[in-house]
Structure 1
């Protein structure tokens, strides 16, 4: 039975320490821009404006708060002592790589926040969330506890929502969240197909040039936890990982009955398509494939064509693809995008958004958002203060202009004044989003 449901987006609000520290091996943009000056203010405003654009299109849009950075509790756990400013200073002096990890604004990429199973696909009729443990990268492994707090704040009603803790933080259960999960369905409220994409098996000897960040066993554990139905497990293409596809959402995106992907996305493409068809109930999946001849993998990654948001705008029959401006600026990806939109297929048009500050660190429009399918009743049970409105957009814009620096270089992360600025910003944000006065470690 199908109930009315919509696909909401929860975007990560970009934090005051947004910088280009090059902390993510295999993420080519992150490595390429290491050491460059970033603009936290431009970054957060780009993110806020993107959220407003989705809300204006009629889609429910929520804000996930940034994490406290620098993470002083993490540095204290490494034995650094004294005042918070002294801890930061000593960590940068004696363990700069750990200090850099403690300052990362990477929670902005909410596609890695969690894996989500809608109530239509779970046996107990609740929406299930498992925050990703993100163990492959040190700086991201620090996120899952605070992410769990944020999800509990946004989805507080236990009769509708189940927010689980992350899987054990071990490489055998390496989990990168929704960046490796796609849901296909006839409509959002009906039972869908849950496509989990994994890069390696837990006990497999991995010899690729870049890490395979998701294990099959992590997918299986989440599937069991969430009592998810109609699951398809597919192996990520080895060639894609070797080429810099650190998450499946760099080469694949899906919405409703449509899967849009690069031909190298899956190790066994035909078997994956057959499994999806077999699992689909009440609909025939539509596959929109782009060949390596039309778009070489390197162009797919640099342009982030597939790290776009594939959405259904209310009142429109065909899907809209929201791409980063980098897709438009690359002649090959631009040609592919425009051809798809004019080919009378399931994707009817392409729009472009400026998220250049995020893109320079290797995160496109799809990286910034966590998709959550919600029924009308579930939508009413969310924290309304975290939902994007004209008023919230105005308040967040003023907040960002007040607290965020125009320019930040990696060396500036050691500045104790930045610690105080960040805490001031987050302290004010907790009241704006109704998060309570004990949401962050420094408030406790």
Structure 2
């Protein structure tokens, strides 16, 4: 086995049981033998050299292309065995040099003007809609769920997430609400139906735009919830409430000032926003190179130390912050289980390489939230400090009322959209 790669694995894999078969058929053993054994094979010398030089990029590519094969266990258990030992630390000097270079050049990858933003969104969200139906909940929520208990199902937790956000928005009937990055419409439709607010959603995905408006029509809610295929930066109307879930990760570090200045202009004087985003505990860094190339081009996961100053500079007030630590890990586990259970259907839509890419994406994302300092944050933002009650009790009361209403209504069956 390549001595540099072997030395790196020996240094970081202290716990667990990892066997690596090199291109010559020799087996190297790492860890203390505890836990589930994982056995992987590097099939050729070129793959071994690539993994040694740049594992962050090349591991995912090698798994997709078949040069890195998991013979015992899964790609998730391999990543877990390695990453539970490191917490993302213990990079080699050359990996540190690669990261430093990427930090210096990240402006070119995160320059998300309107044309680039639309192109980047299409890369991921305009895939065949049937793919997302394979693993998302009935309401097709594609963001971190809120697990109120260990017994919660994915559908329970996604419904709880919508309640949680609604409670923080302090909604009143008749208010005008903007959903920035409205997805397939589930959150906007929930808020329109449960809180009697007028919803405008914006998305850059043609697929999401089509589905969300079809859902609004199917629910006979088109008069109260409409979804626009437009960039939030093009809006001029003012709103009483703004919510944004899972979109801020696509803004790009160099557009934060633009984002929050626009939010300030769109909010009424007594308006309230809730921003829900993936974040990182360990300070500013750079997007994983494999994820940026294959999954979310232009994406960046922020640290709070990058976000809060931009909110302040825009003249906005932070009135509440909540950190959701392991909720996304549980969400991703549910997605991964569902995807793997219906993997053959995904292969029929695309191919085996695509399925390996998505298996790696879901596994790597879950381990990032369990072992590499990723989390979610929800920030409540206003233009003035008189917009909300003095204590948080109103959130708890609103959430409990919505929970009772949701319990009486029961779960809606999955909606059938034309073409799916």
Same fold per TM (> 0.5)? no
Larger Rg: 2
Which has a greater percent of helix?
2
TM-score with structure 2 setting the length: 0.28
TM-score with structure 1 setting the length: 0.27
**Which structure has the higher relative contact order (CA within 8 Å, separation 6+)?**
1
